[in-house]
């Protein structure tokens, strides 16, 4: 069977990637982008509701505070969902956890639809929190489920589909949010409730797919069920190698209990895996991409772009990121995670340094704002080609089955709390530093690049056990082989 035919045989696995993608990943993209469009209408609704309740309009600062809370509460809900991603998928399985998660999104959509009729902006708070919970749990379980169902030669490509669907969700949110579609006074409740549609689609279609093969084999001990799931997803009869790999992974953790977040944070045998996970996950929020999106509109205005065209330029930025992430999905299993992420961070740092210098001298020549627009698109391309996508694949690559759910809790916590902190503090940072705020992110990206390129081993094309053995050379670098073996046994049989 040639390479093209071999890859086409996995069409059911690709279909699973699509079904999982329309849940947490696609909804996350929609929720991040769609909330900006109805801002004026929601604030007007809050004002009218306040007036009908208390007989006086809400003051400007209180209205802005309520709006800021509506925006920020998504990340707190996502953190709560990420915390539960360490228990629900282990207790009930990946598939059932996602089915429950879709019900949460449907309830959130109903609250959004009914908020105007009920004259309650508190329902928007609750709806946004539940949406956040949905994307926090759904994104983690999506990556877990797909990573455990994929052959090692496709694991990077398939887990990267999460980033593709996030990018697709961002564009869709921006498109349906324009005033010609749903970004109007009458349609904003429907715009905020639109995420209920992909939740319903995923809820219905998931029933046709099997549970994660690795979960069935390693966690439940269901060898036959795991074999049937692999045969259905991969459409292969010869699964000997994959079953042997799962058996090795199961034997390496034989007799150990499921690891808690505390175990991951304190155990020597996963110390370097934790560092490799934490630095890139934090980098998604602290690499400066949010600052770039914030500054982009000012740069567009300086170049003479009309105010009513800015929204369409934002769609162009989102499309650029989506194209770059899609290209990354084809490169990740060829180039490798280490190079894409390491050199991606390095190039981001260099480009943002140039952008900072150009922003400082933008008044010297009329063509400089156009150069700055080009630099913005360059940074977004680099971000999509490396850090944005590759960080999604890391927890599935770095941790064995017993450690993986808690690793996703840590990954989600870093990501969502980082998003919350950046959202609260970024305005003050920009106000104090102006365009020089990028230099903070340059330091972080260069540090991350050095760490990844110098210390971290490549995970491309390796089994979970092989990756663990590579990291053990770092975790137990100065230990004798006997001491290393003893420590691993102590760490895995707590």
63-76 pLDDT tens trace = 878 887 888 888 88
Query: Given this model, what pLDDT does residue 253 score?
Result: 64
* Gap between the terminal Cα atoms of the chain: 45
- Please report, for residues 241, 262, 450, the alpha-carbon distance to residue 336 in angstroms, rounded to integers and kept in the order given: 22, 30, 16
Q: Cβ atoms within 10 A of the Cβ of 14, count?
A: 16
Confidence at residue 7, expressed as pLDDT on a 0 to 100 scale: 59
pLDDT tens, per residue, the chain with 494 residues: 444 445 567 889 999 999 999 887 888 888 878 887 788 888 899 999 999 988 888 888 788 788 878 888 888 898 999 889 888 998 999 999 999 999 999 999 999 999 999 999 999 999 999 999 999 999 889 888 988 898 877 877 888 888 889 889 888 888 888 888 888 888 999 999 998 999 999 999 999 999 999 899 988 889 899 999 999 998 876 688 888 888 887 776 665 667 788 888 888 888 888 888 888 767 777 887 766 776 677 777 766 777 677 777 878 888 888 899 888 888 887 888 888 888 999 999 999 999 889 888 877 887 888 888 888 889 889 988 888 777 776 767 788 777 888 888 888 888 888 777 776 676 677 777 777 878 888 888 899 899 888 888 887 777 777 888 888 888 887 665 444 444 444 344 43
Quick check: do 9-209 and 255-494 share a fold? Answer: yes
Question: What pLDDT is recorded for position 478?
Answer: 64
User: What CA–CA distance (Å, rounded) separates 104 from 141?
Assistant: 15
Q: 9-209: which CATH topology?
A: Growth Hormone; Chain: A; (1.20.1250)
Which pLDDT belongs to residue 485? 46
Residues 42, 67 contacting (CB under 8 angstroms): yes
What is the dihedral sign for C-alpha 274, 488, 397, 83?
negative
Instruction: Break the chain into its structural domains and give their ranges.
Output: 9-209, 255-494
- Rounded to an integer, what distance in angstroms lies between the CA atom of residue 419 and that of residue 79? 10
Encode burial over 317-341: b for 16+ CB neighbours within 10 A, e otherwise: bbbbbbbbbbebbebbbebbbbbbb
**Could you give the CA distance from residue 133 to residue 27 in angstroms, rounded to a whole number?**
11
**Domain formed by 255-494, architecture:** Up-down Bundle (1.20)
**Residue closest to 442 by CA, chosen among 366, 357, 319:** 357
- Which residues does 253 contact at the CB level (< 8 Å), separation at least 6? 218, 400, 401, 402, 492
Who's near 233: CB < 8 A, 6+ residues apart? Answer: 10, 12, 13, 16, 149, 209, 210, 213
pLDDT at 401: 76
Enumerate long-range contacts of 104-107, CB under 8 Å, 24 or more apart.
104/130, 104/133, 104/134, 104/137, 105/23, 105/27, 105/130, 105/131, 105/134, 105/138, 105/195, 105/196, 105/198, 105/199, 106/196, 106/199, 106/200, 106/203
Nearest one of 131, 112, 269 to 198, comparing CA atoms: 131
Q: What's the confidence (pLDDT) of residue 492?
A: 44
């Amino acid at each position: 069977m040639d390479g093209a035919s071999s890859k086409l045989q996995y069409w059911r696995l690709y279909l699973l990637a699509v079904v999982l993608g329309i849940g947490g990943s696609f909804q996350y993209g929609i929720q991040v982008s769609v909330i900006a469009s109805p801002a004026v209408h929601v604030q007007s609704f809050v004002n009218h509701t306040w007036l009908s309740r208390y007989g006086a309009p809400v003051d400007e600062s209180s209205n802005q505070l309520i709006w800021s809370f509506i925006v920020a509460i998504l990340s707190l809900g996502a953190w709560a969902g990420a915390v539960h991603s360490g228990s629900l998928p282990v207790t009930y399985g990946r598939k059932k956890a996602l089915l429950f998660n879709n019900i949460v999104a449907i309830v959130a959509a109903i609250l959004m639809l009914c908020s105007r009729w009920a004259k309650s902006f508190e329902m928007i708070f609750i709806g946004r929190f539940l949406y956040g919970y949905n994307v926090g749990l759904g994104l983690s379980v999506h990556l877990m489920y797909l990573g455990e169902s994929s052959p090692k030669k496709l694991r990077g490509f398939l887990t990267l589909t999460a980033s593709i669907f996030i990018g697709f969700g961002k564009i869709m949110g921006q498109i349906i949010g324009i005033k010609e579609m749903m970004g109007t006074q009458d349609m904003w409740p429907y715009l905020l409730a639109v995420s209920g549609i992909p939740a319903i689609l995923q809820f219905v279609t998931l029933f046709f797919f099997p549970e994660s093969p690795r979960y069935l084999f390693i966690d439940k001990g269901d060898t036959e069920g795991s074999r049937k799931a692999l045969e259905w997803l991969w459409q292969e009869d010869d699964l000997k190698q994959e079953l042997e790999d799962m058996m090795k992974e199961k034997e390496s953790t034989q007799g150990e209990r499921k690891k808690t977040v505390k175990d991951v944070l304190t155990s020597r045998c996963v110390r370097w895996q934790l560092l490799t996970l934490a630095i890139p996950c934090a980098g998604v929020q602290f690499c400066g991409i949010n600052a770039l999106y914030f500054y982009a509109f000012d740069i567009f205005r300086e170049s003479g772009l009309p105010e009513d065209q800015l929204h369409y330029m934002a769609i162009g930025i989102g499309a650029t990121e989506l194209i770059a992430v899609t290209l990354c999905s084809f490169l990740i299993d060829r180039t490798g995670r280490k190079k894409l992420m390491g050199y991606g961070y390095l190039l981001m740092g260099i480009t943002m340094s140039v952008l900072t210098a150009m922003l400082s001298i933008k008044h010297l020549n009329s063509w400089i704002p156009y150069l700055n627009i080009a630099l913005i698109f360059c940074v977004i391309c680099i971000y999509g080609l490396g850090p944005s996508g590759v960080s999604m694949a890391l927890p599935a690559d770095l941790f064995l089955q017993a450690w993986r759910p808690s690793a996703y809790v840590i990954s989600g916590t870093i990501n969502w709390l980082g998003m919350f902190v950046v959202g609260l503090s970024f305005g003050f940072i920009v106000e104090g530093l102006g365009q020089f705020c990028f230099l903070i992110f340059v330091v972080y990206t260069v540090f991350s690049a050095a760490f990844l390129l110098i210390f971290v081993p490549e995970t491309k094309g390796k089994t979970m056990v092989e990756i663990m053995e590579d990291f053990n050379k770092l975790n137990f670098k100065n230990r004798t082989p006997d001491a290393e073996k003893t420590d691993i046994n102590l760490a895995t049989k707590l």
